[in-house]
Structure 1
Amino acid sequence: MAEAKILKAPGMAKCIGCYSCMLACARVIHNDYSPRRSAIQIRSTGGLQSSFLAVICRGCLKPACAEACPAEALVERPGGGVIFKKDLCTGCRKCVAACTVEAIFFDEDEKKPIVCIQCGTCTRYCPHQVITMEVRND
């Protein structure tokens, strides 16, 4: 069995803010064309010489979001992160509050969280290989 990989952003200095990763996640995973429906968010650090930062799931080994979910809609994923069982989700937002890196967003239309499932779709659309899927080394 292949080792589970997690999302990393080692090349943020190369990010040009094209949002291709966000659009890919929204389109392929969430069937939407809005970057607001992406589990990865690219943000500007601001200022005249701003750079970008990626708000991404860190693939926690003991995810606080899964522990906080009373409906067991989020369960630990082997290798880090979570598996999201959307049909079990009640929309209580406890996972959003529990995420230590604030990488779970809430879809007000669907009343469900937008959770990274560590699928790697975003990495395939990044033109500068800013984000990658890597075997956990910690």
Structure 2
Amino acid sequence: MAKILQANYMAKCIGCYSCMLACARTVRHSFSLQQSAIQIHTAGGLQSRFLADICRGCSEPACAKACHCGALLPRNGGGVRFIPEKCLGCQECVEACVVKTIRFDHTSNKPLICIQCGSCTRFCPHQVITMEVREDGR
């Protein structure tokens, strides 16, 4: 059974960005936080908590429906598979994402999109982000 990312424990987040670095390193082969498909940021203010912008693993992903070149394919259990070789850089997926977590990298002319690989979860020191089977079975 496929799993999807969950950020149910953000109160434990210390803002170390280990999850972002893991994503950038393992998926994009980069040491830049800008290359991460997951983004950690504060809600604002000096003592605010951290928030995670992550793919919600839609069971019927709008980004895949908007992709006319076949670079994004729905993944069993939710989310998408990304085939970079097929991507034309049209940015339709960025516009279609209902939670606005897909960003576009103008250097590579490809989207920065979460593929639900779980790299971020393995490097989170406080298990803030986890991979879980979706409760409703979608």
Specify if TM > 0.5. Answer: yes
Gaps of 5+ in 2: none
**Deviations 1:2-33 (CA, angstroms, capped at 9, x unpaired):** x1000000110000110000000001111000
Partner of 1:40: 38
**Aligned residue in 1 for 2:53:** 55
Q: Percent identity?
A: 64
Q: Please, what TM-score do these two structures have when normalized by structure 2?
A: 0.97
Runs of 4+ that moved beyond 4 A: none
Please report the TM-score for the alignment, with normalisation by the length of structure 1: 0.97
**Counterpart pick for 1:15 among 13, 16, 41:** 13
Give, in whole Å, the separation in 2 of the partners of 1:85 and 1:28: 16
In structure 2, C-alpha distance between the alignment counterparts of 1:5 and 1:66, rounded to whole Å: 18
Correspondence for 1:82: 80
Q: CA deviation at 1:103?
A: 0.9
Cα distance, 1:132 vs structure 2: 0.1
Structure 1: which amino acid aligns with 2:17? Y
Give ranges in structure 1 of 5+ residues lacking alignment. Answer: none
Q: Which amino acid aligns with 2:88?
A: T
- Once superposed, what is the RMSD of the aligned Cα atoms? 0.6
Letter in 1 for 2:48: S
Distance (whole Å) between structure 2 residues aligned to residue 79 and residue 67 of structure 1: 16
The CA deviation at 1:48 is 2.1
C-alpha distance in 1, partners of 2:23/2:102? 14
The answer for the alignment partner of 1:94 in structure 2 is 92
Deviations, residues 80-122 of structure 1 (Å, cap 9, x unaligned): 0000011000000000010011111111100000110101000
- Residue 128 (structure 2) aligns with: 130
Shift of 1:59: 0.4
Q: How many residues align?
A: 136
